[in-house]
Structure 1
């Protein structure tokens, strides 16, 4: 079997359904912002993740990778709960994707098993001028919804990319969580769609390219939290835990925080704060609706910035 003629990135396995066809080849894309989720077993998080995102952007593309916990159905239910079912598009990617780290490095960039190809295929479903990479465990605050809603229209034709700080939130129970404000986790999330903004292979994971001349906008702190449940393995998608300090400082910090909390040493970690929600309020809702919006700025007062 030969690749489909005209494919921009034919996959190594010669399966036409998973060749990449970029949408801009058909002409300019309309104004707007589409959020792309690449998810596996995120059913637990999506009731907090999907509704605020659909309030913030015009369209959501969710690509499910071999979930066995009902993730696609939970996503659809979450969208329907706010009357936005028609703005959620769900796709299946039924190939085992190499884990970040050494497995990723050993996998060819154009294989269906590569993170790089998985991401390019996922983003090929975007039909707006701007796209946003987002994770299935990241929850927008009320402020975050407003900022993204404004950006989705202001960015059109600007060529700018947007980096958004996020704050890891380790969930101990329904009422207790730990928020990491010791380091500033900053990563570009929003990009124009076009041939200069595709994904390429790096050492540990995929990287989205962009021209050096691109304007870089840094969003304010407090827009989103990244959920990390202490009763489950948050590092199962990694093939090794020996994170390189120069290339993967974010994962190294996350591993240090996780280890400290599992050993009951959370108070010893600089910048890690324990939060207890009022009775009857889930700690995730409390942090995103009340605690973070009212916390004194700057949120991250010391420690170096971590960029991905």
Structure 2
């Protein structure tokens, strides 16, 4: 163990965090890290564009029962990108956001903080990208990331993404929330000053306020939300959503509930999109609707 490594309180030595810096050279490049559970439905849209632009992707499966790990390998191989994907497993139940997270010690294998740090310790490039198993990258977004890599080679940089949710009702109909712009720093240098620490409701990745930041434009990626699924199962309870602390979740719950109940007309800033016959709504949004939408996005 080195000074930056993290032992877990349960004594699960294979799941101590062993950071790569100080052990191996981290060449310039980008590793995407995905922490996933039961994301098989999303992976056909999530993985191909992502694997096409990063040097490596590490998919950390947390107890999926829908075949997520095997499907990820199949998709990567089908696109000739299997050499860029590593799949591993994190076998411990992880505390949900909110009260469960708050009550779990940060160095427990059940903590979001330890889970994230262990996952990101598998990156072997100078930069890592936090990516979720429900995030779809457009062709424009992939090109932007590719163009960005040379710009962040000479100076440590944090890259901020802006994304919106797409609520999928059926194979041809979805609802795009242009009002909710979720802005998050997702690309960070690898190093001891960029590890995860405990926030109030979830994990937070540290970085200095003085570090250079690049904010990417809207419309490069979007988040899939399925109206026939429980999109809030990773939260202890939705009753804790608070407009001052979690305004994004308040908005997501409002939109999700209205759409589930057929009350789309009551929502401002949500665009109903219908794909052409024979085209899946996710493909239509990624390839046609979003790339051609006026920026900034508006209803």
TM-score range, shorter chain: over 0.9
Contact (CA 8 Å) 2:59, 2:88: kept in 1 or not?
Answer: yes
**Match of residue 261 from structure 1:** 259
Per-residue deviation, 1:215 = 1.0
Q: What TM-score, normalized to structure 2?
A: 0.97
1:36 match: secondary structure: strand
1: CA distance, partners of 2:27 / 2:2:
26
- Superimposed CA distance per residue, residues 9-68 of structure 1 (whole angstroms, 9 cap, x where no aligned partner): 000101110000110122541000010000000000001100000111111000000000
**Match of residue 94 from structure 1:** 91
**Match of residue 237 from structure 1:** 234
Per-residue deviation, 1:151 = 1.7
Give runs of aligned pairs for residues 158-307 of structure 1, distance below 5 A.
158-241=155-238, 242-300=240-298
Contact (CA 8 Å) 1:7, 1:19: kept in 2 or not?
Answer: no
Count residues with an aligned counterpart. Answer: 298
Q: What TM-score, normalized to structure 1?
A: 0.94
Contact (CA 8 Å) 2:4, 2:192: kept in 1 or not?
Answer: no
2: CA distance, partners of 1:211 / 1:72:
35
**Match of residue 304 from structure 1:** none
**Match of residue 133 from structure 2:** 136
Structure 2 residue 54 is matched with structure 1 residue 25? no
**Match of residue 104 from structure 2:** 107
- Superimposed CA distance per residue, residues 114-156 of structure 1 (whole angstroms, 9 cap, x where no aligned partner): 0000000000000000000010000001101101112233212
**Match of residue 44 from structure 1:** 41
Per-residue deviation, 1:298 = 1.1
2: CA distance, partners of 1:214 / 1:298:
26
Structure 2 residue 67 is matched with structure 1 residue 54? no
Contact (CA 8 Å) 1:103, 1:239: kept in 2 or not?
Answer: yes
Ranges in structure 2 where 5+ consecutive residues have no aligned partner: none
- Superimposed CA distance per residue, residues 147-178 of structure 1 (whole angstroms, 9 cap, x where no aligned partner): 11122332124211011111100000000000
Per-residue deviation, 1:300 = 4.3
Tell me the C-alpha RMSD between the 2 structures: 1.3
Q: Where has structure 1 moved over 3 Å in runs of 4 or more?
A: 4-7
2: CA distance, partners of 1:37 / 1:292:
23
1: CA distance, partners of 2:75 / 2:163:
22
1:196 match: secondary structure: helix
